[in-house]
Amino acid sequence: MKKIIIYSLVICLFTSCELVDVLENDPPNNLVEENVVQSETDARALLNGVYTTITSRINDKYYMFSELIPSAMIGSMNGSGTGTSHIQFSNNSLEFDNIYVRDYWLMFYKTMDIANNTIKQTNQLSGNLISETSRKEIIGEARFLRAMSTFDALRYYGQFFDESSNLGIVLRTEPSNFVTRNKARNTVAECYEQILLDLDAAILDAPDYSVTYRASKTAAKALKAKVLLYQGKYAEAAALADQVINDGTTSLAPDFESVFSQGLNSSEMILMTYRDANSDTEDNNRKRFYSGIPPTDNWFTAIMDTDPRKAYTYNDSDILKTNNEEVFRPTYFLRLAEMYLIKAEGLAFSGASLADASAPLNIIRNRAGIGNTSAANIEALKEDIFNEIARELAFENGSEWFAAIRFNKAMLLKPSIISSNQYILPIPEEEINGNGSITFTDQNPGYE
């Protein structure tokens, strides 16, 4: 068996480190224990490697596919490309050997692995080389990033919508190596438990919010509110979203256009990718060649047709919001408007009054210039909340796709979706072949 050992931290952080054919090679993130992290500077460099994994051109599957794949699956984008592997997403007919299904999976686990190495190596650094405050902040930030990538992997590859399901993902909470790589799938409940443990740690120890492109206590609270919503813990989700709204770290932009025209200085961005003139290059930002195209006539274009936000969301040839060259084409993971919509959804589904559940929704509607909801009952309000999520958050981290699943609307909106099996992607062939604790009998339903 061939052996590949990485002796340099730089190789791990700034090359693709792809887990190719794990039956033949040791995992490339099998870092040598000695002398990897010798100082606080090294620990921060390792942490920066997690962000590099999310945002680099080599690893574009995370930042770009979080827009393309879910939008193609629900039809808010007409497609993400012309090849067979791309068309499978648009047709909701995924095959387990789809190369992008594989690459997306690897991207999430690569992010987890570098976060795990950051946590382990920073924990092992002696007290005379790092202050306890710095240690806690670095680990807190890494635990947020591990939670985010774990949650994203669960949303795409596990039955996240059924907490009683055994079909979660493979939880990775320690660095991958020859000993740890064989691991069975966890239950959905176990996945949510680990995600929330990491987020609670990040809320406690991550740095305070300071910039839009780093993890923070605020980002951890925002992501936890989102996770609670997916779990169906509606009242808790609404309450935590309200905390984020009122904690004073971010504020709504005065109008929808301003949300996306200020780049890294947007007042309501909680977490986005770092992009500037130097990083928006052919070598580093694949969105310069964005393969997503505007939707044709369907449910999405119908609700966007007369909405004032359409002019800043897409046109006949481009997706304007996320491929905006004036602010260097960032990707948006969390922003304050989403907290208002989580609050509205959480209240509407937890028995709150029509007036209380309408209030946060109306703030976003009025900012957009469409006025208060006219819903006369909670069921009508739920319809307005879904439509507002799609109009306000389209192309942002799968918001409209996952909302369609939560609101039980996916099969109504897209005829090619006929089963809940199509809500998640197949476990990639490479994972089944390379993980000794998973077999083809562990594959997601509909992909056997």
The DSSP secondary structure of 189-222, one letter per residue, reads: HHHHHHHHHHHHHHHHHSPPP--TTS--HHHHHH
Sorting pLDDT into bands at 50, 70 and 90, what band is 177? confident
The SS3 of residue 426 is coil
Spatial separation of the C-alpha atoms in residues 224 and 328, rounded to whole Å: 28
Q: What is the mean pLDDT of the chain?
A: 90
Residue 23 pLDDT exceeds 70: no
pLDDT for position 24:
30
Mean pLDDT calculated for residue range 89-113: 94
Closest-CA residue to 160 (of 229, 208, 213): 229
Closest-CA residue to 25 (of 329, 439, 434): 434
Q: What percent of the chain has pLDDT over 70?
A: 91
Q: Please report, to the nearest 10 degrees, the dihedral formed by the alpha carbons of residues 263, 264, 269, 272 taken in order.
A: 100
Mean pLDDT calculated for residue range 18-44: 55
pLDDT for position 81:
62
What is the bridge-based pairing of β-strands 332-335 and 269-272? antiparallel
Closest-CA residue to 264 (of 217, 220, 210): 210
Mean pLDDT calculated for residue range 305-323: 95
Domains and their CATH numbers in the chain:
39-206 (1.25.40.390), 231-323+332-415 (1.25.40.390)
| Contact indicator for 16, 58 with CB cutoff of 8 Å | yes
Encoding tokens for residue 432? 């089944």
CB atoms near residue 351 (< 10 Å): 10
| Contact indicator for 299, 77 with CB cutoff of 8 Å | no
CB atoms near residue 370 (< 10 Å): 16
Encoding tokens for residue 136? 């806690």
Sorting pLDDT into bands at 50, 70 and 90, what band is 295? confident
pLDDT for position 386:
98
**Beta bridge pairs of residue 335:** 269
The SS3 of residue 271 is strand
Residue 79 pLDDT exceeds 90: no
pLDDT digits (tens, 9 = 90+) for 200-249: 999 999 999 999 999 999 999 999 999 999 999 999 999 999 999 999 99
Residue 82 pLDDT exceeds 90: no
Mean pLDDT calculated for residue range 381-390: 98
